[in-house]
Amino acid sequence: MEHFQHSSDTYFNRELSLIEFNRRVLAQALDPDLPILERLNFLIIFSRNLDEFFEIRVAGLMKQLDLNAITRTPDAIPTEQVLAELSDKVHQAVKQQYDTLNYAILPQLQSLGIHFIQYHDILDKHKAWIADYFARQVQPVLTPISLDPSHPFPRLVNKSLNFIVSLQGKDAFGREIEMAIVPAPRSLPRLINLPIEVAGSATEHIFLTAIIQQHINDLFPGMKATGCYAFRVTRNADLILAEDVDDLAVALKDELSSRRFGRAVRLEIEDDCPQDIIDYLLSEFDLDEQQLYRISGPINLSRLTSSFDRPELKYAPFAPVIPKIFRKQKPMFEILKKQDVLLHHPFDSFQPVINLLKEAAKDPNVLAIKQTLYRSGPDSEIVQVLAEAARNGKEVTAVIELRARFDEESNIMVANVLQEAGAVVVYGIVGYKTHAKMILIVRREQDQLVGEFKHGVRQFEKSYDNQQAEQISLMV
């Protein structure tokens, strides 16, 4: 067999490949044949994907450099080169993203009566309402932090919105302060709907950044703000767990508390910010120009989601199908005794799966329910049904993947809900992720134990008490 040398000619680099995938997501936003709000949604998806890409993939590469670690990846591309190529590709993609937003999507939305108001878009008719909203809703929760010898640069939370303000004059204590930081509290919405008496016939949404920038001087009595620039820092958010932990849930909780303040990996800032302020921030975050992104528009487009209802500007709604066999008013177990059923999601409805669990939770012949859970919030209908089954005396066992990225805290809450109901919760194996989706329901039928099975990939056979179980499957 011919031996291939490891090189970029025979292997794709993992990180460069992932960026190409995300650029294909961005390409959907460039398609003029798609509904305009769907194009905007693809821009938002691209932003969210990019956040995670920096928090995990770029952060991992930068950590290798910080530790002078020598990695031998199959593509044989040095880490420094990968980071340089990623920077070039991402900078190009971000420019394309904001060009699409500023010169295609926002103008088209404005022509359709949907306005997103940034600082430079504020009109005289908006100012009185903005002043009142700022005084009542915004100023009371803002905390300006001056940058001086007694107030060093603050620790800023991962992906939080902040402002750096240049100042002239003296404060109430007679101090000359040149700069300050104003964090935007996460309790405040990033996009606010203007009332109809202000907006008129249009649908208008104003950015929180615009409201704060309009009244930034109100936060510094006796001084003059000569500049106010929104910025956001992205940090390493990967979690590292030792394989010899005593309690995975406890170890994960400890790691989650540090995720918000990991090593900085990207700085986004409004593109009109002066270079001396940018240099100052880069120095504080230990970054260089490669990790700097000058943004021509609102920082963090994932905040552009809004509540206005314009269905004609979106995809036509899709209604998943209930297979004919489930439309009859028959118990799920009676149907599955006669035949296997294949569900093809999302084209087929997921409701039959939920109905199967609901019946199992109440059926006196059901002895056990065993299921894997990957991303299910504590309010999930499936989680609530499993808890009900446990309270009804069923043997409920759940394998919960605590390390489903960025859903770790939610999964810990799911585990607590199920454990309090009496279910057995298993966390899987440290070093591996359980991504398979499976439900196994054990039911007594004619003095035999039968496994009703739902799986994402393949069927399943199992023997109980040395008796071969009847194979009945609900496959998806």
Structure tokens at 85: 């190529």
Query: How far is residue 356 CA from its own chain's centroid?
Result: 30
Annotate 357-385 with b (16+ C-beta within 10 A) or e (fewer). Answer: bbbbbebeebbbbbbbbbebebebebbbb
126 is catalytic: no
Catalytic one of 91, 344, 435, 455 = 435
| Coil/strand/helix, residue 403 | coil
Q: What angle, rounded to 10 degrees, do the helices at 79-100 and 36-52 form? A: 160
Beta-carbon-side half-sphere exposure of residue 318 (alpha carbons within 13 Å): 9
d(CA 385, CA 398): 12
Distances (CA, A) of 421 to 366, 390, 427: 17, 6, 17
Is residue 238 within 8 Å of 405, Cβ to Cβ? no
Strand 448-455 relative to strand 438-445, pairing: antiparallel
d(CA 426, CA 409): 16
DSSP assignments along 309-347, one per residue: --GGGSPPP--PBPPHHHHSS--HHHHHHH--EE--TTT
| Coil/strand/helix, residue 470 | coil
Strand 161-169 relative to strand 179-183, pairing: antiparallel
Is residue 267 within 8 Å of 291, Cβ to Cβ? yes
Structure tokens at 30: 């460039």
CB atoms within 10 A of CB 241: 15
Active centre residues (catalytic): 435
